[in-house]
Amino acid sequence: METKKYSSYAQIELDLKILKLEREIYYQKVLLNVDKTKESIIPFRKINKVLETVSDFSSGPYGIIIKTLIPTAIKWYLNRKRGN
């Protein structure tokens, strides 16, 4: 990298302002990318929370009833469609 030669303090101040603005732009880009990443992850968190709730519900006393009724209902539906 070539060193820059300045002839006045005004040139130095101008370059410092430019660098400060560039730094702020890159910082805002990072924040935007973080927000986009959060948005893409949040649906998975919501799905995971629903699955945890269903898992908790199915492990209790209602879960035993549901686990018994679902296969029975499926068998009944399949047999009804076949005409048996």
DSSP 8: S
- pLDDT greater than 70 at residue 82: no
The neighbour count for residue 63, using CB atoms within 10 Å, is 14
Number of H helices, E strands in the chain: 2, 0
Give the global pTM: 0.47
Query: Over 60: is that where the pLDDT of 5 sits?
Result: yes
Quick: pLDDT tens for 10-58: 999 999 999 999 999 999 999 999 988 877 777 777 777 777 777 776 6
81 pLDDT band, cuts 50/70/90, is: low
The SS3 of residue 7 is: coil
